[in-house]
Amino acid sequence: MKPAEPPHSRLSSGDRFRWFLQSTAGPASLAGGVVSSAFGTALNMPKEYGPHWEGFGKRYGMRLTGISTGNAMEAGLGALWDENPRYVRLDRGSILARIAFCLKMTVAAQSANKDELGPAYARYIAIVGSNFISNTWRAGSEADAPHAGIRIGLGFAGRAGSNAFEEFWPSIWRRLGKRRGHS
């Protein structure tokens, strides 16, 4: 299935910068950082940061540096191939079709010069590259290839989750609004 909206024309550098800001410091990303950092603090991972508010802050900052590095790479490298990093909702079809589309868009991107989806090369490079680059400033217990591999998997899972949120939240919000209006 194709998205409800046609492929976007070539993104301007301003469009890419706005995507970077929203994806890095927008409400959904910042809330995701709170959940991720709280989970890491509860498990005390990595142990070097400790199970307290200071450790939470270090985990939050570490996540933010990783997200910002990856998003900058995806926005910048995506310009080389005219890849659109933004998720465009399918907004129709069965729930399973929409979930499948969310998963497909985890590894695919729209191109300005094609009426089809293609591999999201910039995303692949950004998720993999930023997780290995971040080994240079991570706590020693997490600064190795196996931990980078785990973070890469979590990066793709996070993108799938973000896509699902963007796909389904507007529909959920509309239904909640209708219920409140009929009460």
Domains held by the chain: number:
1
Per residue in 75-86, pLDDT tens? 999 999 899 999
Structural domain including 109 reads: 13-182
Banded pLDDT at 182 (limits 50, 70, 90) = low
**125 domain-assigned:** yes
pLDDT recorded at residue 18: 96
**5 domain-assigned:** no
User: Whole-angstrom Cα distance, residue 129 to residue 119?
Assistant: 17
Concatenated DSSP letters of 94-157 = -HHHHHHHHHHHHHEEEETT-SSEEE-HHHHHHHHHHHHHGGGTS-GGG-SHHHHHHHHHHHHH
What share of the chain in percent tops pLDDT 90? 77
Per residue in 12-48, pLDDT tens? 999 999 999 999 999 889 999 999 999 999 999 999 9
User: Whole-angstrom Cα distance, residue 134 to residue 150?
Assistant: 13
pLDDT recorded at residue 101: 96
| Residue 173 pLDDT > 90 | no
User: Whole-angstrom Cα distance, residue 61 to residue 58?
Assistant: 5
**3 domain-assigned:** no
**30 domain-assigned:** yes
- Segment 92-102 shows an average pLDDT of 95
Per residue in 52-70, pLDDT tens? 999 999 999 999 999 999 9
**53 domain-assigned:** yes
| Residue 89 pLDDT > 60 | yes
**Reported pTM:** 0.87
